Amino acid sequence: MVALENDNTAILVVDDEESLRLTFQMFLAREGYGPVEVASTYDEALALIDKQDFDLVVSDIVMEGASGIDLLRTIKEKGVECPVVMVTGYPNINTAAEAVRLGAFDYLAKPVKKEDLLRTARMALQQYALRNANNALAHEKERYQKYLEAVFRSVPELIFTVDPQRRIIEFNDNVAKWVADFGIDDISGKTLDEVGACFELFSRDVDAVLADQEEVPEHRIEFTHDSGQASIFRVSAVPLVSDEGVFLGVVLVAWDVSRFEALEKKGLRERLHRLVGASRAMQTVYTLIENVGKVDTTVLISGESGTGKELVAEALHAESPRRDMPLIKVDCTAIPENLLESELFGHKKGSFTGADRDRPGRILQADGGTLFLDEIGDISPLMQLRLLRFLQERTFYPVGQDSAISVDVRVVAATNADLRQKVQSGQFREDLYYRLKVVDINLPPLRDREADLVMLVQLFMVRFSSRMGKEIGGISDQALQVLQSHDWPGNIRELEHVMERACVLCDGSTITVEHLPGELRHQERTAAPVRHGDVLLEEENEEVRIVNTLKRTFGNKAQAARLLGIDRSTLYRKLKLYDIDADDVVHS
């Protein structure tokens, strides 16, 4: 059974004439709305309103006892926000004015035609749904803003913004601690000159951006504290521009390299739960998982196929207060469209052919825990609507059941599709997109994690050799070089399959080139490694990789450096070496 689009739209019809109640109920039910409840009196209507939520109330004004106007007044006093349509056989200006004053959506005069009733109901429900969606999006935007502000305050770097008049507008907690060491309590709204010595080392970068409205490349500044302790700060400054392209000022980021390098000497993390990798890109992913995992909000994991989105979902669940409750996984592409609704929401016995028993859906199984929806970008418009309603209300109706079920579930979704592009092309609901993307975790492809490849090769070699009962102790330099020169379109999943095949074919203690797939073996490097100054060129196609990365980041050099796993200063040197202009790359 496939639900109509109007399904799960609760309507209450209030009229003391039984024939009209049943007629209105029939008209609305046949249109696909439901459940449609009826009441004959003011008291019956209030009892139903107290018992459940309605999306629309249609009430006669003239009834025995309390009138429809009394019901409308009470509904508004209770804070019920659903639209109310008033119906009467004795229309007059006073009652109409009173109904409008109390917030009635519309006013229908008897005899009410079917077309008028359905048109008014449709308009009222559309307006109500739009208002709910806007309120929900505003609420989620506020939560997301609070989350970003929390991250902004807690990161270890000094971050502050300056307007075109050099006034300090925003700053994080570390900036506040920094200025406190200089005996300054509050810097909000003060100019850099008014703040004095503690911002003197950053003034030149701010002024450069204010003058040219261009990014100042990352560089290092020596600084000696009054205590005599010397530090080195890595500093970068970028223009702050609005969505409309208006220049708003400068964002400056600085961090104490001395402390950062001391932490690096202790070693970067190589894994988090089942995720493996020590690259800077993965350090960012680890930090996001730890911070977001503790916040009970919806998360969208994006990235190419094979990058480990399911492992991120597992890590988020393990980092959350729900870790002792179920983690239920649903691969939305592995379940036929006509069964996905029943799989997610469950069904009642007899609700469709083959439904020989009640079945709880995956959502109910995840109650108290986490629901992971993989490949969410491929679900149908109908399922998008049902999922949106569930995310908004945290209630759902199993197929064939009229009463709603409430659950406490955290939703984590994943996709390898560009959902923003799907929204623009009309293939994915914009309201659902923003509902899912409260927090976004983007996984880098394996080709942008070169520093992690050797570690993953070792991991898979140990795993599969142990599973196969073989004593494979290593891999030859030539075989490793072949693996490092491959672009890995299938990412970590592809590498895992390649290493499993190599372990199957290896009959000695070392994996060699001959154990690798033919398409990899025939790839040859076009040049040997060459050192140019202090920059090691790993291979001739490095220039192509840098250009492609800049295209993917639309010329954002800081993001490109992170994806390439190198310092931004290194990227600038390589751009100069290859004579690459980031602006030309973006517009080529």
Domain architecture of the chain: domains with CATH: 7-132 (3.40.50.2300), 155-265 (3.30.450.20), 271-442 (3.40.50.300), 446-521 (1.10.8.60), 530-587 (1.10.10)
* Cα–Cα distance measured from residue 563 to residue 566, given in angstroms and rounded to the nearest whole number: 8
Contact 377, 417 (CB under 8 A): yes
Q: In what order do the strands lie in the sheet with 247-256?
A: 168-171, 158-162, 247-256, 230-241, 216-224
What tokens does 127 get?
Answer: 């307006």
Q: Which of 470, 535, 549 is nearest to 505 (CA)?
A: 470
Please count the helices (runs of H) and the strands (runs of E) in the chain.
Answer: 24, 25
Q: Which helix (H) or strand (E) holds 328?
A: strand 327-331
Query: Contact at 8 Å (CB) between 449 and 472?
Result: no
pLDDT per residue of the chain (588 residues) written in tens, 0 to 9: 333 445 678 999 999 888 888 999 999 998 888 889 999 999 999 999 999 999 999 998 888 788 888 899 899 888 888 999 988 776 565 666 677 778 888 888 888 888 889 998 988 888 888 887 777 776 766 665 565 555 455 556 788 899 999 999 888 888 888 788 777 778 888 888 888 777 787 888 999 999 989 988 888 787 776 656 667 788 889 998 887 788 999 998 887 765 545 444 445 688 899 999 888 788 889 988 998 988 888 999 999 999 999 999 999 999 999 999 999 999 988 888 778 888 898 888 877 777 778 888 899 999 999 999 999 998 988 889 889 889 888 888 888 887 888 899 999 999 998 898 999 998 999 989 988 988 889 999 998 887 789 899 999 999 999 999 999 988 988 888 889 888 898 999 999 999 999 999 999 899 999 999 888 877 544 333 433 333 333 444 678 888 887 877 777 776 677 667 676 667 777 888 888 887 777 666
Q: Which DSSP state fits 427? A: S
Distance CA 289, CA 375 (A): 19
Of 529, 525, 545, 546, the C-alpha closest to 537 is 529
Helix (H) / strand (E) containing 109: strand 106-109
Question: Helices 309-319 and 280-293 meet at what angle, rounded to 10?
Answer: 40
How wide is the angle at C-alpha 185 spanned by C-alphas 181 and 188, nearest 5°? 120
CA dihedral 255, 261, 267, 272 (to 10 degrees): 10
Backbone torsion region of residue 567, taken as left when φ is above 0, otherwise alpha when ψ lies between -120 and 50, otherwise beta? beta
Taking Cα atoms as reference points, which of 114, 177, 236, 305 lies closest to residue 562?
236
CB-count exposure of residue 421 (10 Å: 0-12, 13-18, 19+): exposed
> How far is residue 119's CA from residue 325's CA, in Å, rounded to a whole number?
46
As a whole number of Å, the end-to-end CA separation of the chain is 51
**Amino acid identity at 574:** K
Question: Reduced to 3 states, what is the DSSP secondary structure of residue 208?
Answer: helix
Q: What is the DSSP letter of 174?
A: H
Task: Please state whether 488 falls in left (phi above 0), alpha (psi between -120 and 50) or beta.
Answer: left
281-290 LR contacts (CB < 8 Å, sep 24+): 281/444, 281/448, 281/449, 281/562, 281/563, 281/565, 282/444, 282/449, 282/452, 284/562, 285/312, 285/441, 285/443, 285/444, 288/439, 288/441, 289/315, 289/316, 289/319, 289/441, 290/319
